[in-house]
Amino acid sequence: MTLIAFLDLEVDPSTQKILDIGCITSNQNQFHKKSSRELEIFINDVAYVCGHNFIAHDFKYLQATLAKVSINQQQVIDTFTPPSEFVLYLTHKDVILDHFITQAKSIRHLLSGDVLYADMYGCKDSKDQYLIKFSKKFKQELLEKIKSGYKIKTAKINFIVLWSKEELQDEFRIILPELYLIH
């Protein structure tokens, strides 16, 4: 019978030290200690390791231990499945506010729910004009999502709110969009 070890770690976030290792094998043997050396002995006969979000969180702490018992990342069953789609709701920190000063006429006629066309740099209207430009920080966040397999499906206006720049007397409408991403 092929044995699977179901693992979960508790790690101190400030020291990155393992506080506890919980493990149960598919033949019901249990392990509950903090020693990775003792875990190595306990899982010596397993063919696979399984855990929730194991690759993103726990694998780095046990990679050397798993290698000693000939388990590599291809033998890890990660029960976390990223969502196939989700929505990013942008805030004023995710957009370049000064860009809206030059877009006042273009934004005047828009309503919440109107469709936008998004890419890595911002959101455009049907005339291919950037109504919204993303902040540097948000572009980095979006790039990380794209690197992990997501792509922008659609975008639309979530909110249109007023913003005033301290140096200017006028208020400007700014668009806070929502982006729909799919995997």
**Mind listing the pLDDT tens digit for each residue in 5-62?**
999 999 999 999 999 999 999 999 999 999 999 999 999 999 999 999 898 889 999 9
Give strand pairing partners of 124. 117, 130
Confidence of residue 111 (pLDDT cuts 50, 70, 90): very high
The structure tokens 């639309």 sit at 156
Q: How many CB atoms lie within 10 A of CB 45?
A: 12
- 134: which DSSP letter? B
Residue 119 phi/psi, 5° resolution? -140, -165
Tens of pLDDT, residues 122-174: 999 999 999 999 999 999 999 999 998 999 999 999 999 999 988 888 899 99
- Hey, what are 45's tokens? 């006969």
CA 115, distance to chain mean position in Å, is 24
- 30-33 and 4-11 strand pairing: unpaired
- Distance between CA atoms of residues 18 and 10, nearest Å: 6
In the chain, the amino acid numbered 6 is: F
Tens of pLDDT, residues 56-106: 889 999 999 999 999 988 899 998 888 999 999 999 999 999 999 999 999
- Distance between CA atoms of residues 103 and 129, nearest Å: 10
Tell me if 48 sits within 8 A of 34, measured CB to CB. no
